[in-house]
């Protein structure tokens, strides 16, 4: 009897396994984990949006906790959201993120104290050096102070450089002069002494911008102020990953005694007529702007996989210098690239598809660790 029943039981078990394997996010629990795979190499991070921080979908929460050990808030710690009025701070969502991190053993990188973009509306009404200085000082002291001992690290200053390595003409440069970067680090260090402090930018692997970034770092250090690392955002384009510049940047930044991080990694597959990630730049839609509304052609999928593989091989080659690799979004559905530089496109820049299923790029990345 038993012998006859066994094959049926086995068959039933196989059917069940197959059903689980095809049933969306549950399947995600059976695939390899990025954080586990690279645990001896570098941290694996993701950007989290409101719904994810709010834990609105328990399967998504479980998925994030299994794949990532570091997280950056995609928006909720930007000054417009944390500091909506001159005297008003709203830490609700940021605090939820801190709880999320504690619960799921995920380190939080605060993003970002000083950035020319997503500033509170009231800044537009300020036209004096004193008031900008007061905002700058109060904002850093209050926010870094609030999250003291709670965030692992801060992107203290974000995107202060132009492509040619000169300082961007931001409201901070205009009113406070080019010392504002050093002063931001000084204030952050005072308000939150145990937190790692980083400068973050896009295209700072490119030679001219890198040179500007190195000057900034040297200036901060010469003033006796602490800076722990540089974030290279890593918003690149499929088939055009600047591997040589990236490797050169890892070497040059770490030669300054800095940790190197890839902080907003994604690989765009849709075309645009400029490089970088300046959110102020936009393009107008035309009939060709959204070429893959239902699926990514296999040739592009394979190129994306090859690009991610090459990048992770490089990161692993320099794992003694690279401390974190953070993807800018959990899956393709969450990516900012669905709405920038043109709204409403279907973009495929990450390792997981719109249902959090692994793409060929995911398996290529996992295989680099073997
Ligand atoms: O992904 C973010 C998107 O949801 C916001 O609308 C946008 C607004 O400024 O910022 C995006 O994140 C940016 C990050 O904070 C800094 N580097 C470039 C990122 C992509 O624009």
pTM: predicted TM-score of the whole model, two decimal places: 0.92
Ligand 1 contact via 233 beta carbon (within 6 Å): yes
Tell me the pLDDT band of 351, cut-offs 50, 70 and 90: very high
| Ligand 1 atom 21: residue of nearest CA | 279
Residue spans per domain, the chain: 32-269+290-368
Give the mean pLDDT of 155-176: 98
Query: How many CA atoms are closer than 13 Å to the CA of 357, on its beta-carbon side?
Result: 10
The arithmetic mean of pLDDT across residues 323-340, rounded, is 98
pLDDT tens track for 288-327: 889 999 999 999 999 999 999 999 999 999 999 999 999 9
CATH homologous superfamily for the domain 32-269+290-368: Glycosidases (3.20.20.80)
> Which of the four pLDDT bands, split at 50, 70 and 90, describes residue 29?
low
Q: Using alpha carbons, select from 333, 205, 339, 353 the residue that is nearest to residue 272.
A: 339
pLDDT at 17: 47
Instruction: Report the pLDDT value the prediction gives residue 184, as an integer from 0 to 100.
Output: 98
Which of 45, 46, 75 to mutate for ligand 1's pocket (most ligand atoms within 8 Å of CB)? 75
Cα–ligand 1 centroid distance for 131 (angstroms): 26
Dihedral-angle region of residue 49 (phi above 0 means left; psi in -120 to 50 means alpha; beta otherwise): beta
For residue 21, name the pLDDT band (cuts at 50, 70, 90).
very low
pLDDT of residue 26 exceeding 90:
no
**What is the per-residue pLDDT for 277?**
76
Vertex 230, ends 216 and 153: CA angle to 5°?
Answer: 115
What is the band of 330 on the pLDDT scale with cuts at 50, 70, 90? very high
* pLDDT score at 276: 76
Query: Does any ligand 1 atom lie closer than 6 A to the CB of residue 75?
Result: yes
């Amino acid at each position: 009897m038993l012998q006859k029943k066994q094959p049926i039981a086995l068959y039933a078990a196989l059917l069940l396994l197959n059903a689980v394997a095809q049933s969306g996010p549950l399947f995600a629990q059976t695939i390899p984990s990025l954080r586990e795979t690279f645990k001896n190499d570098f941290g694996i991070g993701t950007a989290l949006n409101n719904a994810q921080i709010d834990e609105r979908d328990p399967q998504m929460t479980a998925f994030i906790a299994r794949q990532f050990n570091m997280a950056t808030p995609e928006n909720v710690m930007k000054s417009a959201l944390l500091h909506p009025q001159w005297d008003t701070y709203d830490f609700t969502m940021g605090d939820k993120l801190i709880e999320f991190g504690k619960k799921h053993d995920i380190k939080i990188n605060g993003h970002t104290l000083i950035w020319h973009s997503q500033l509170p509306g009231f800044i537009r009404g300020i036209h004096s050096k004193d008031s900008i200085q007061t905002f700058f000082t109060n904002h850093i002291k209050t926010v870094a102070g609030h999250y003291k001992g709670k965030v692992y690290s801060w992107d203290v200053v974000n995107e202060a450089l132009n492509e040619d390595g000169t300082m961007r003409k931001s409201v901070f440069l205009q009113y406070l002069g080019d010392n504002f970067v050093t002063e931001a680090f000084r204030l952050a260090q005072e308000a939150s002494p145990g937190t790692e402090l980083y400068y973050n930018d896009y295209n700072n692997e490119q030679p001219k911008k890198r040179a500007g970034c190195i000057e900034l770092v040297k200036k901060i250090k010469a003033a006796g102020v602490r800076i722990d690392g540089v974030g290279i955002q890593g918003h690149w384009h499929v088939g055009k990953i600047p591997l040589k510049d990236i490797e050169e940047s890892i070497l040059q930044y770490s030669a300054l005694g800095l940790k190197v991080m890839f902080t907003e990694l994604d690989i765009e597959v849709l075309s645009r007529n400029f490089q970088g990630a300046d959110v102020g730049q936009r393009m107008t839609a035309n009939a060709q702007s959204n070429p893959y509304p239902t699926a990514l052609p296999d040739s592009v999928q394979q190129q994306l996989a090859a690009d991610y593989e090459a990048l992770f091989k490089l990161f692993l080659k320099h794992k003694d210098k690279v401390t974190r690799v953070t993807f800018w979004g959990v899956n393709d559905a969450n990516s900012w690239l669905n709405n920038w530089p043109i709204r409403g496109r279907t973009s495929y820049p990450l390792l997981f598809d719109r249902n959090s299923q692994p793409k060929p790029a995911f398996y290529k990345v996992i295989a680099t660790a073997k």
